[in-house]
């Protein structure tokens, strides 16, 4: 079983898989990084999660073009 990588600082993001990196980078850009580190992804509101998902989806769409 793989050991889960814990993210405590922005530098830790680089240790993650690409898809996870993108999610954490967006959280960092939106100022939600500390909230996620302290309380986990479940602590985000639906609006915050939707914002991250929307940006992630938008970036993936642009990358395909």
Q: What is the pLDDT of residue 2?
A: 62
State pTM to two decimals: 0.86
* Token pair in block for residue 45: 């509101």
Q: Say how many residues make up the chain.
A: 65
Q: Quickly tell me which residue has 């939106």 as its tokens.
A: 30
Question: Is 15 inside a domain boundary?
Answer: yes
Mean pLDDT score of the chain:
92
> Does residue 12 carry a pLDDT above 70?
yes
Residue 47 belongs to domain spanning: 10-64
Average pLDDT over residues 40-45: 96
Residue 64 pLDDT class (50, 70, 90 cuts): confident
Question: Is 1 inside a domain boundary?
Answer: no
Cβ atoms of residues 20 and 27 within 8 Å: no
Q: What is the pLDDT of residue 8?
A: 94
Task: Work out how many domains the chain is built from and give that number.
Answer: 1
């Amino acid at each position: 079983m793989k050991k889960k990588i814990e993210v405590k600082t922005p530098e830790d993001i680089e240790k993650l898989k690409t898809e996870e990196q993108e999610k954490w980078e967006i959280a960092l850009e939106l100022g939600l990084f500390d909230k996620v580190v302290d309380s986990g992804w479940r602590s985000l509101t639906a609006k915050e999660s939707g914002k991250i998902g929307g940006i992630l989806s938008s970036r993936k769409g642009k990358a395909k073009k």
